[in-house]
Structure 1
Amino acid sequence: MNRLPSSATPSASSRHELRILIILSALMSFSSISTDMYLPALPTLVSDLHTDIGRVELTISSFLIGFSLGQLFWGPISDRIGRRLPIAAGLVLFILGSFGCAGSETIGQMLGWRVVQAVGACAGPVLARAMARDLYARERSAQMLSLLILMMAVAPLVGPLLGGQILAFWSWRAIFLVLTLCGVAALVGVWLLPETLPPSRRSTVPLRETLVSYLALARDPRLLIYAIAGGFYYGGCYAFIAGTPFAYVDYYHLSPEIYGFLFGANVVGLMVLNYVNSRLVVRFGSERIFRFGSWIAAISGVVLAINARSGFGGIPGLALPIFCFMSVSGFIVANSVASALASFPRQAGAASSLVGAMHYGSGVLSAAMLGWFADGTPWPMGWIVGAAGIGCLITALLQTRLAPALTLAVETA
């Protein structure tokens, strides 16, 4: 149910909703721009910071560590004091972290500032999801999350292209300076965002009890199964994000600019299927579309693994299955998040934080595994994405069979 003021006229309500969507999509984009924009520069960082591929790939893992753990903090805070102030505080940390990355002289400094950047960056996405849950019920929430992802997909579409151009004319440090300016602009614009959590609906649970509430949420199958399935999928996504710069630029010798275009093609597919999902989810239901997307993720992941191992198809042999895998984010992410949060309207911030931490935590593992098993070929990326797709599908199918019985057990406990 839409919770916008009933006294608003249809046109005023539509403009108000559009403004909220634009602001929330910008906030959700910070997870993407913080990584996607500097991807073309990863090979350059190896030489400039006098390190190796494995340690440079840890700049993605360190970001994901801060991003996943930070969400566990912002969600409960926002449930108590509202959404706007925590978002502003997060943006300040993002600005400091981005500026610190720009001035890093060693890989250790870069890793540390990436954690700071991530702790700040995660406030936007996690609280944007909670705001969508504040305003809308389950199916409408999934629809609005798809529209949010569709709109914010401009960031990963433009990010690698812009990063490649900045790298061509300046350096990787300028990329982080641009991110600093993005944070400043968002901080100025956040004051246009209305507060979606009125005092009457705020949590009164003491923060010291947050850990207990997280443990309770983590044991609840209504959230856990969807979070695990989404976590598998995110693991595959971050194996792609960390692996393709070296697979395309180092192994197949593509220029950073061409890499940006290949990366952007995946985002176009993601945008299209998010739009399709926003049109179909009310008719077919979020769970059915989620399972369909899981099947596609599993099949395309297996094809990618086979091609990466055999070398079949060269660059197209990698790019086409990756395109299919990444595109079905439009069917998997919004629907799994909306389904996970549907049963927790009074704990939307904490539930969103836990789901996000599990999703990005899986990215920490997959990006780290990519560094551990790096052999100079696309094979490690291929088998990690393939395993992630299979895990997503198996968990989605288990949800279909087990969730009703487990939910009944929770309700009667």
Structure 2
Amino acid sequence: MLALTSIWTTILLAAAVALGPLATDMYLPALPAMGDALSAGPDQIQLTLSLYMAGFAVAQLFCGPLADRFGRKPVMIFGLLLFFLASIGCALATNVESLMTFRFLQALGGSAGPVLGRAAIRDIYTPREAARIMAILASIMALAPAVAPTLGGLLLSGFGWSAIFVALGGYALVVILLIAFGIPEPMAPGNRQSLRLGNLACNYRRIGTDPSFIGYTLTNAFAFAGLFAFLSGSSFVLIDFLGIAPDHFGLYFACMVAGYIIGNLTAVRLGRRLVPDQILLRGLLISVAGGSIMASLAMTGVYSVWAVMIPQTLFMVGVGMTLPQTMSGALANFPTMAGSASALFGFIQMAVAACVGALVGHLYTGTSLIMASVIAVCAVAALAAYLLLVQRYPAPGFEPAEAGK
């Protein structure tokens, strides 16, 4: 077994957390082809993405309390096993309705990785240390979405869209073995919580009414929703509208992921001299700039791959700086119920993202205008949540020293 504070433990947790972006990003190049194969329109195929996010959101509300009661490892292993079985079901789907069903089940299991990965980091580290570790973890796990669309495009070209889900199932099995035999249980026995309904309701009420938690969670949710708007619309915009080849989609997608990694690494470097909320504000301003540029270009009729990808990459630099700070800040006040706090955080994040993704699919008009406009609005909403809530109710140790006087 590895030490909990080992970098290899962080890498294993990143592998579990990466299951979420892998399940969304790997099949993006296949969305148009899946629509053709299953006789489904863009709105129905995009709904498989939003349903996944909805299932992901709901499952976390149960996953977190179960992990607070029984520990992180057993719940994570059970969830990943369900993800494996549902992935095989997706691969065997013969119509869009059955694909939607298995995608929802896939989400129920896949939620265990991210929600319990965040909780484990909070178990192991203090809030300020956790912000730095989450930025490192995010940089590591960003390698998954960087290669996922390219790998998905290759699998699509060589074996068809079903092979993408077989590969996802195989990845889940590997992660199960690594988690089971690679790391000890990170949760202290004394922090176990009761599963009684009254206790759960009390815990969620306490978490959900904490103004600091609300501020960081909404800031995160809107920033993540901007990313999800791109995930939901990019394959149709880049492949169908702008005409890039499906197997080249991953190369353009990697540009966006590179921006995210740059943001993560910038946050780690700035963390040596700035507190998390100062890093957070800088990231939000960068995201607003990227989203606004993309929307402005689309509104003036400038349609090209780079009119989408350059602003989106800038947007992702800001997101890479923003997400680790908000994750750690939201969990800072709840060391003894990190699973439940992480669950509610993830539920709100995924619920907002699912609604935004469905909106992009419903309003899609065949150009990049809707996607770009939604990304810009999400960036502005994230900045507003920060200014109205986070600045007034910062997490302990996250605010500049003079702000606490």
Give the structure-2-normalised TM-score: 0.94
Q: CA deviation at 1:265?
A: 1.2
Aligned to 1:72: 61
1:130 corresponds, among 119, 136, 139, to 119
Q: CA deviation at 1:208?
A: 4.8
Partner AA of 2:161 in structure 1: W
Aligned to 1:402: 392
Query: 1:83-128 CA deviation, whole Å, 9 max, x = no partner?
Result: 1000001011100111110011111101110011011111011101
Q: CA deviation at 1:82?
A: 0.8
Q: Are the counterparts in 2 of residues 25 and 151 from structure 1 also a CA contact under 8 Å?
A: yes
Distance 2:91 2:287 in 1: 36
Aligned to 2:297: 307
Q: Is residue 246 from structure 1 mapped to residue 263 from structure 2 by the alignment?
A: no
Q: 1:116–1:16: structure 2 CA closer, same or farther, 3 Å change rule?
A: same
| Mapping for residues 14-413 of structure 1, pairs under 5 Å | 17-191=6-180, 192-204=182-194, 206-312=196-302, 314-403=304-393
Q: CA deviation at 1:168?
A: 1.1
Q: CA deviation at 1:15?
A: 9.2
> How many residues are matched?
394
Between stretches 358-367 and 184-193, larger displacement belongs to: 184-193
Q: CA deviation at 1:198?
A: 2.3
Distance 1:15 1:212 in 2: 30
Q: CA deviation at 1:199?
A: 1.4
Q: Are the counterparts in 2 of residues 99 and 177 from structure 1 also a CA contact under 8 Å?
A: yes
Q: 1:316–1:219: structure 2 CA closer, same or farther, 3 Å change rule?
A: same
Q: Aligned with 2:271: secondary structure?
A: helix
Distance 1:294 1:75 in 2: 28
Query: 1:234-257 CA deviation, whole Å, 9 max, x = no partner?
Result: 111110001110000000110012
Distance 1:162 1:215 in 2: 42
Give the structure-1-normalised TM-score: 0.92
Identity percentage of aligned residues = 31
Q: Are the counterparts in 1 of residues 48 and 103 from structure 2 also a CA contact under 8 Å?
A: yes
Q: CA deviation at 1:14?
A: 7.8
Q: Aligned with 2:384: secondary structure?
A: helix
Distance 1:99 1:308 in 2: 39
Distance 2:369 2:363 in 1: 9
Q: CA deviation at 1:205?
A: 5.5
Partner AA of 1:165 in structure 2: L
Query: 1:330-371 CA deviation, whole Å, 9 max, x = no partner?
Result: 211000111111111111111111111111111101111012
Query: 1:22-49 CA deviation, whole Å, 9 max, x = no partner?
Result: 1101001010110100000000011101
Q: Aligned with 1:346: secondary structure?
A: coil
Q: 1:216–1:47: structure 2 CA closer, same or farther, 3 Å change rule?
A: same
Distance 2:198 2:388 in 1: 34
Distance 2:26 2:143 in 1: 12
Q: CA deviation at 1:216?
A: 2.6
Distance 2:5 2:351 in 1: 34
Distance 2:391 2:161 in 1: 49
Distance 2:365 2:303 in 1: 20
For the aligned residue pairs, the C-alpha RMSD in angstroms reads: 1.7
Q: Are the counterparts in 2 of residues 303 and 321 from structure 1 also a CA contact under 8 Å?
A: yes
Q: CA deviation at 1:313?
A: 5.5
Distance 2:144 2:2 in 1: 27
